[in-house]
Amino acid sequence: MESRATRLNSRRNTMIDIQIEEAYLPEVDEITIRAAARATLTQQGTAPSAELTILVSDDAEIQALNLSFMGIDAPTDVLSFPSGETQLDPTGAAFPEVYLGDIIISCPQAAAQAAAGGHPLSRELELLTVHGVLHLLGHDHATADEKERMWAAQAQILAMLGNPLAPA
């Protein structure tokens, strides 16, 4: 797979490694993805030195990962793989580990969802990035209470980004 990988140090020392498969470079704005990830980390109050990787890929790769890790033999829009480790902030509260984990987004799935919803691909990629980062930070939507908390955080972050999409 050929891709372009970028890393950026923000004022918070956040490292966001974005890899976009070459076929999707014309369609995918890495600045949008980076801004969505950074907004999520900021809104959630994560460690100032957090790191994560985001890969924008195809259906075949995400389907293989979905089968291997979730037991589902079908493509999906986004998968998150948290590192699962923690660190403590100066007050003794747990922060996610410096390396939060990996997010994989299917560009074809995102494009189909954007077309079905009548909005630009960039907005769908923002939504999927926010959703993926929230999963890295421990959010889930397996129960009604978890879903309510995650969707509220997601809606707040999307509003910060000026994105009109609301979680369904």
Q: Kindly report, residue by residue over 134-145, the tens digit of the pLDDT.
A: 999 999 999 999
Q: Is 53 among the domain residues? A: yes
Identify the pLDDT of residue 10: 39
Q: Is 85 among the domain residues? A: yes
Tokens, residue 12? 């918070």
**Alpha carbon distance, N-terminus to C-terminus of the chain:** 33
Listed residue (43, 44, 40, 116) closest to 77, CA to CA:
116
Distances 21 to 25, 51, 123 between C-alpha atoms, Å: 7, 20, 19
Q: Is 167 among the domain residues? A: no
Q: Is 117 among the domain residues? A: yes
Q: Kindly report, residue by residue over 104-163, the tens digit of the pLDDT.
A: 999 999 999 999 999 999 999 999 999 999 999 999 999 999 999 999 999 999 999 999
Q: Does residue 105 sit in helix, strand or coil? A: strand
Question: What domain count does the chain have?
Answer: 1
DSSP alpha helices (H): ranges in the chain?
Answer: 30-44, 59-70, 107-117, 121-136, 144-160
Q: Is 166 among the domain residues? A: no
Regarding beta strands 78-82 and 99-106, do their DSSP bridges make them parallel or antiparallel, or are they unpaired?
Answer: antiparallel
Q: Is 9 among the domain residues? A: yes
Could you list the residue range(s) of the whole structural domain that residue 135 is in? 3-160
* Amino acid present at 90: P
Residue 40 has pLDDT above 70, yes or no: yes
CATH number assigned to the domain comprising residue 48? 3.40.390.30
Q: Kindly report, residue by residue over 43-101, the tens digit of the pLDDT.
A: 998 867 789 999 999 999 999 999 999 999 999 999 999 987 655 555 666 654 588 99
